[in-house]
Amino acid sequence: MIDLKSLTIEKVHESLSKGEYSVTDLVTEYLKVIEEKNKNTNAYLEVYDDVFTQAKHAEEMFKNGTATLMTGIPVALKDNMLFDGHIASASSKILEKYVATYDSGVVKYLKKQGVVFIGRTNMDEFAMGSSTENSAYGVTLNPINPDYVPGGSSGGSAASVAMDGALVSLGSDTGGSIRQPAAFTGLVGLKPTYGAVSRFGIIAMASSLDQVGTLSKNVSDTQILFEAMNDYDSMDSTSVKKENRTSPTPLKKKIGIPQSFLAGGGINEEVLANFNASCEKLKNAGYELVDISLPLIKYSLAVYYIIMPAEVSSNLARLDGIRYGLSVEADKLFDVYAKSRGQGFGKEVRRRILLGTYILSHGYYDAYYNNAVKVRNAIKAELVSAFLSVDAIITPSSPFPPFKFGEKTNDPIAMYMSDLFTVPANIAGIPAISIPSGTTNDGLPLGLHIMAPYFREDILFTIGKDFEKLI
């Protein structure tokens, strides 16, 4: 019997290297948990049928001396990541039976290192949502408390790790879709710098905002998994070569807090109290906390909800019922388009497509989209300037704790507020992480959100590890 709750990547590697148990033994234990718990959480949409074949390959790597830290590590994949020969549906009816014909960049890198992909996890359809209530295949429950959402859109990836159904998992983050579910399930969630990790083979939502990241139980595992994927990919035109990235510099041990942004209202009292307590802990760890002025950051959410739906409208235009995916027969070509998209897309996806099409329409493109791009560039410049005087910027991960199912589904604006603190990192393309920071009086998890300069994930890991020691 393997104690899955206490495992880390380094512990697993050591045990596998010593022969204390095999990769097949490890995978079997995780599959037992999935068998027991998934029917109640719906974290996984599918457990892959070649899991044990993957495990045998990993065992061969240990035998022939080619094993890495990631070899044999059970990893859950979000349902928008292509894995050759396996279904990737983005939790949508329109791609229900789509089988990938090639590996995404992250799968390719991790496959070379011998990881074991356990299965694909549930998500908000096409990553549009903050609660995993928008999946075409049912909601995912929060393993911490099943009455509450696990966050989204990577709710299934978060739940798979939180319920011990995978050691680590991969998610995608367009406006907070890794960090918010991490905060809601007591995990560490990383959104790397835009361009640090390949986006090739990821079913796109908003291409200038999407980024692949990680969910794990501690910062060390987060760092190991990130470094296993942190490479240039010639198949991704937005991937940045390592020689063109920011070089690490010594830490000032100074952290910025945008107090005026936090004073804007809408933050739950327990969340604010927890954040203030987290700040005191960082002070005790030797960090200097200073107030910084970020007058433009409050516009990030508005900018996001112009740029994101515009890109959604463009990216999902390819799903027309003709080339691939769901196709509903009709007498006229237009009716094939209308019926395939009408039946294939869920309500939230249709809402964002309509909004994005309106934003990009004649007469509104300049008024909305172009102005949003200008403000986005100004927010980027503001953050770059702020990082000249501080190592990192901290806020709560979410303005409120996990919420109950149905609580925000009838009020899209209230749901969109989930991304208040996480969106600026996507707007600017900088790295950010959510670290568990305690719980509410009801035992619901809360998170501390940390942003760092471009390609300075090392700062996030350093501060994160220091903070973990204080919890």
Residue range 13-65, pLDDT digits in tens: 999 999 999 999 999 999 999 999 999 999 999 999 999 999 999 999 999 99
Q: What is the mean pLDDT of residues 436-455?
A: 97
Residue range 238-253, pLDDT digits in tens: 999 999 998 888 999 9
Q: Please state, in angstroms and rounded to a whole number, the distance separating the CA atoms of residues 367 and 295.
A: 22
Residue range 72-110, pLDDT digits in tens: 999 999 999 999 999 999 999 999 999 999 999 999 999
Kindly indicate the confidence band of residue 324, based on its pLDDT and cuts at 50, 70 and 90. confident
Domain ranges of the chain: 4-244
- Percent above pLDDT 70 for the chain: 100
Q: What is the mean pLDDT of residues 279-304?
A: 96
**What's the topology of domain 4-244?**
Amidase signature (AS) enzymes (3.90.1300)
pLDDT of 264 > 90? The answer is no
Residue range 174-197, pLDDT digits in tens: 999 999 999 999 999 999 999 999
What's the confidence (pLDDT) of residue 163? Answer: 98
* Structure token pair of residue 185: 């399930």
* Residues designated catalytic: 78, 153, 177
The H or E element containing residue 435 is strand 432-439
What's the confidence (pLDDT) of residue 254? Answer: 98
pLDDT of 416 > 90? The answer is no
Q: Where are the alpha helices (DSSP H) in 237-391?
A: 259-262, 269-284, 300-315, 333-344, 347-359, 371-386
What angle (nearest 5°) sits at the alpha carbon of residue 331, between those of residues 326 and 332? 85
What's the confidence (pLDDT) of residue 248? Answer: 86
pLDDT of 1 > 90? The answer is no
- Alpha-carbon dihedral 263, 266, 272, 278, rounded to 10 degrees: -80
Half-sphere exposure of 218 (CA within 13 A, CB side): 15
Kindly indicate the confidence band of residue 368, based on its pLDDT and cuts at 50, 70 and 90. very high
pLDDT of 112 > 90? The answer is yes
Q: What is the pTM of this model?
A: 0.97
User: From the CA atom positions of the chain, what is the Rg in Å?
Assistant: 21
What's the confidence (pLDDT) of residue 246? Answer: 85
- Percent above pLDDT 90 for the chain: 94
What is the 8-class DSSP label of residue 240? -
What's the confidence (pLDDT) of residue 400? Answer: 96
What's the confidence (pLDDT) of residue 108? Answer: 98
pLDDT of 335 > 90? The answer is yes
Residue range 119-163, pLDDT digits in tens: 999 999 999 999 999 999 999 999 999 999 999 999 999 999 999
Kindly indicate the confidence band of residue 413, based on its pLDDT and cuts at 50, 70 and 90. confident
Kindly indicate the confidence band of residue 471, based on its pLDDT and cuts at 50, 70 and 90. confident
Kindly indicate the confidence band of residue 265, based on its pLDDT and cuts at 50, 70 and 90. confident
What's the confidence (pLDDT) of residue 282? Answer: 97
What's the confidence (pLDDT) of residue 75? Answer: 98
Q: Please state, in angstroms and rounded to a whole number, the distance separating the CA atoms of residues 184 and 160.
A: 13
What's the confidence (pLDDT) of residue 37? Answer: 98
- In the predicted model, what is the mean pLDDT of the chain? 96
Residue range 20-30, pLDDT digits in tens: 999 999 999 99
Q: Lowest mean pLDDT: which of 48-57, 289-298, 414-423?
A: 414-423
Q: Please state, in angstroms and rounded to a whole number, the distance separating the CA atoms of residues 288 and 391.
A: 10
pLDDT of 414 > 90? The answer is no
